[in-house]
């Protein structure tokens, strides 16, 4: 564990202190603050509505459910369980680019939430037409950039980000599998009984 911890700190310092640029500072702050970059998700939701019509509501609902589950697991379970101190408070010489409350670090809810939404969108759009595949090519790097921004601005270790992304992907998969099970085992049988009454 000590070796993993050292590698995590080394990667954090690489991202936070060495692979930096003034232009990247502005970009990473933009990505990490939902108040600044939230409109990108609104544009993504608009794209979903344009491409999928009535079924867009279902896709967005599943994305929100998976986001909520990811946030619950990352912030409600892992943070109080692991109680890892954020690098901006635990290490010296950290470039802290945003105000950060004294909440715990592991796992990153930003990474979990963005990965959850991106995973749901991937499930529904990765086999679509070219414009839908381009949409996924944009949204997945966007989610990864949000995660990366958390280490760059000084509030998360890379290990927190990796754990958050794993939580997000699993939350999306669980949400979709549960929805598919409900459709297959509850909704479809009822519709079939209504369509073919005895």
In this predicted model, what pLDDT tens digit does every residue of 181-194 receive, in sequence order? 998 888 877 777 77
Task: State the pLDDT confidence band at 197, using cuts at 50, 70 and 90.
Answer: low
CB 112 within 8 A of CB 171: yes
Over 80: is that where the pLDDT of 46 sits? Answer: yes
Secondary structure letter of residue 53 according to DSSP: G
Structure tokens at 112: 């979990």
pLDDT band for position 144 (50/70/90)? very high
Closest CA to 121 of 179, 39, 64: 64
Q: How far apart (Å, rounded) are the C-alpha atoms in residues 99 and 97?
A: 7
Q: Which of 102, 73, 97, 98 is nearest to 172 (CA)?
A: 73
Q: What pLDDT is stored for residue 108 in this prediction?
A: 95
**What pLDDT does residue 1 have?**
65
Supply the DSSP symbol for 86.
P
**Tens of pLDDT along 81-90?**
999 999 999 9
198 confidence band (pLDDT: 50, 70, 90): low
Rounded to the nearest 10 degrees, how much is the dihedral formed by the CA atoms of 103, 161, 72, 125? 150
Q: How many helices (H) and strands (E) does the chain have?
A: 10, 0
Q: pLDDT (tens digit, 9 = 90+) per residue, 95-133? A: 999 987 788 999 999 999 999 999 999 999 999 899 999
Radius of gyration of the chain (CA): 19
Domain boundaries, the chain: 46-94+105-195
pLDDT one-digit tens code per residue, 151-190: 999 999 999 999 999 999 999 999 999 999 998 888 877 7
pTM: 0.91
pLDDT at 189: 79
Q: Do the Cβ atoms of 67 and 113 come closer than 8 Å?
A: yes
């Amino acid at each position: 564990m000590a070796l993993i911890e050292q590698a995590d700190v080394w990667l954090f310092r690489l991202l936070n202190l060495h692979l930096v640029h003034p232009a990247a500072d502005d970009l990473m702050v933009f990505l990490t603050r939902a108040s600044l970059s939230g409109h990108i998700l609104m544009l993504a939701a608009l794209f979903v509505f344009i491409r999928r019509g009535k079924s867009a509501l279902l896709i967005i609902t599943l994305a929100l459910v998976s986001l909520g589950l990811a946030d619950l697991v990352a912030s409600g379970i892992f943070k109080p369980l692991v109680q890892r101190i954020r690098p901006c408070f635990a290490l010296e010489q950290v470039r802290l680019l945003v105000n950060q409350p004294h909440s715990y670090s592991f796992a990153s809810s930003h990474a979990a939430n963005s990965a959850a939404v991106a995973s749901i969108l991937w499930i529904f759009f990765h086999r679509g037409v070219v414009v839908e595949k381009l949409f996924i090519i944009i949204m997945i790097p966007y989610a990864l950039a949000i995660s990366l921004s958390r280490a760059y601005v000084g509030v998360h270790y890379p290990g927190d980000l990796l754990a958050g992304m794993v939580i997000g992907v699993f939350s999306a998969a669980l949400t979709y599998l549960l929805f598919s099970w409900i459709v297959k085992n509850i909704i479809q049988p009822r519709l079939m009984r209504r369509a073919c009454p005895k």
